[in-house]
Amino acid sequence: MQNIYDLTLNELEEYFVSIDEKPFRASQVYEGLYKKRFNNFEKMTNISKELREKLSKEFSLYKIKILIKQTGDNVNKYLFELEDGSKIESVLMFHNYGISICISSQVGCNMACAFCESGRLKKVRNLLAYEMVEQLLLIEEDINKRITHVVIMGIGEPFDNYENVMKFIKIINSNKGINIGSRHITVSTCGLIPEIRRFAKEDGQVNLAISLHAPNNEIRNKLMKINKVYRVEDLIEEVKDYIKKTNRRVTFEYILLEGINDSEKEARELVDLLKGINCYVNLIPYNETDNIGFKRTKEWKILKFYDILKSNNISTTIRKEFGGKVSAACGQLRANN
Ligand code: SAH
């Protein structure tokens, strides 16, 4: 049975037309699902009883469930079980500017980045759009508050699940539905060039973040397998093209790893690489895990790296840390499960 949260408003309109109903029924159902948050069709009294019964027979809803919830300082971590028994996680963060959620896009991940805990489990399958939508709906229900920002940075490589991720974005962005503004949505990729090119042609103002983590091929090859396919210089060229086409600012994520990519030399190389590009750099203090040997760069050295970028006019932030205590930090999601 198809899940109702897997349908964009357009698709739902097409469905109603196909059963000789008026297309505006789609907006009515969207209102029931996303504004009123009904968890079954019977409650949707703005449509006929007959139609409600038909929908119940044809569509399922709320098919994933929260197995475990852990809470820490301004952070909740959720372990979900999917219909087929697979497990994924999402992280909720309370900021002064709003509430953000970090969504998983795949069960496992094939990118196998050396430092990443999530990538140690090989990809089992892509998530469908509804499985991403339900992560958000269930967490909002749990906290009884509205999520304002969505980042697709949990387990998985979103551009390795392009269609479903774009569908998910369309669904949560719809003003007839959850209505999260596209500027409040960010997709993070390890740098799949064909999908970056495709993403440049999408409507809306969704943010793009690139996991760069190294200023040259020699270091990036050691950290990210994908660099053997899409090299630093090609990735940067593609990002420049993307900015030219979209006029949008891109974020580069850069995890600082002790003795690997965190020296002054690498900071200066990064400056040269990014000079003149309309971008932010987000420096990420590494979250150590038991299974992987990389160490976190010391704080004074992070600040030094930051200063070098700043003094060369590269917009830079150091990522605020969440979730260390509950192992909800990047790359640690699956470690304990
Ligand atoms: N596959 C996508 C999204 C998932 S990873 C991507 O590569 O961007 C989200 C971010 O968390 C990436 O920048 C990733 O490199 C980073 N990350 C992974 N493991 C981490 C760890 N242990 N500490 C800090 N950041 C980590």
Please tell me whether residues 210 and 237 are part of one structural domain: yes
Please tell me whether residues 192 and 309 are part of one structural domain: yes
- Separation of 80 CA from ligand 1 center, angstroms? 20
pLDDT of the residue at 119: 74
Please tell me whether residues 55 and 72 are part of one structural domain: no
pLDDT of the residue at 62: 92
C-alpha distance from residue 135 to each of 67, 89, 102, 317, 331 (Å)? 12, 9, 10, 28, 18
Please tell me whether residues 9 and 87 are part of one structural domain: no
Please tell me whether residues 12 and 28 are part of one structural domain: yes
Name the pairing type of β-strands 65-72 and 75-81: antiparallel
Select from 153, 222, 230 the residue to mutate for testing ligand 1; criterion: most ligand atoms less than 8 Å from CB.
153
Ligand 1 contacts CB of residue 227 (under 6 A): no
Ligand 1 contacts CB of residue 115 (under 6 A): yes
State which residues form the domain around 31.
2-60
Rounded Cα gap, residues 215 and 312, in angstroms:
15
Rounded Cα gap, residues 247 and 241, in angstroms:
10
Q: Which of 280, 162, 296, 263 is nearest to 212 (CA)?
A: 280
Helix (H) or strand (E) holding 133: helix 129-143
Ligand 1 contacts CB of residue 59 (under 6 A): no
Q: Could you tell me the CATH number of the domain that includes residue 45? A: 1.10.150.530
Please tell me whether residues 176 and 299 are part of one structural domain: yes
Please tell me whether residues 77 and 204 are part of one structural domain: yes
pLDDT of the residue at 55: 98
- Separation of 278 CA from ligand 1 center, angstroms? 22
Q: Could you tell me the CATH number of the domain that includes residue 144? A: 3.20.20.70
Percent of the chain as helix, strand, coil, to the nearest 5: 40, 20, 40
Looking at 11, 28, 60, which one is the last position of a domain? 60
Ligand 1 contacts CB of residue 189 (under 6 A): yes
- Separation of 255 CA from ligand 1 center, angstroms? 8
Please tell me whether residues 51 and 115 are part of one structural domain: no
**Ligand 1: residue whose CA is nearest its atom 24:** 286
Ligand 1 contacts CB of residue 160 (under 6 A): no
- Separation of 286 CA from ligand 1 center, angstroms? 9
| Count of structural domains, the chain | 2
Pull the structure tokens for residue 136.
Answer: 């958000």
Select from 113, 116, 239 the residue to mutate for testing ligand 1; criterion: most ligand atoms less than 8 Å from CB.
116
pLDDT of the residue at 291: 84
Q: What are the backbone angles phi and psi of residue 215, rounded to the nearest 5°? A: -90, -5
Ligand 1 contacts CB of residue 251 (under 6 A): no
Report which ligand 1 atom has the smallest distance to the Cα of 188. Answer: 8
Active-site residue numbers? 89, 330
Number of neighbours of residue 307 by Cβ within 10 angstroms? 13
Please tell me whether residues 19 and 124 are part of one structural domain: no
Looking at 45, 60, 75, which one is the last position of a domain? 60
Please name the amino acid found at residue 60: S
Ligand 1 contacts CB of residue 286 (under 6 A): yes
Looking at 43, 60, 77, which one is the last position of a domain? 60
pLDDT of the residue at 80: 95
Blockwise average pLDDT, block size 10, the chain, 337 residues = 97 98 97 96 96 97 94 92 95 95 96 88 95 98 98 96 98 97 98 98 96 98 98 98 97 98 98 97 92 93 98 95 66 62
The answer to whether the pTM exceeds 0.85 is yes
Please tell me whether residues 40 and 87 are part of one structural domain: no
Please tell me whether residues 56 and 82 are part of one structural domain: no
Please tell me whether residues 79 and 102 are part of one structural domain: yes
Ligand 1 contacts CB of residue 119 (under 6 A): no
Select from 253, 258, 320 the residue to mutate for testing ligand 1; criterion: most ligand atoms less than 8 Å from CB.
253
pLDDT of the residue at 120: 80
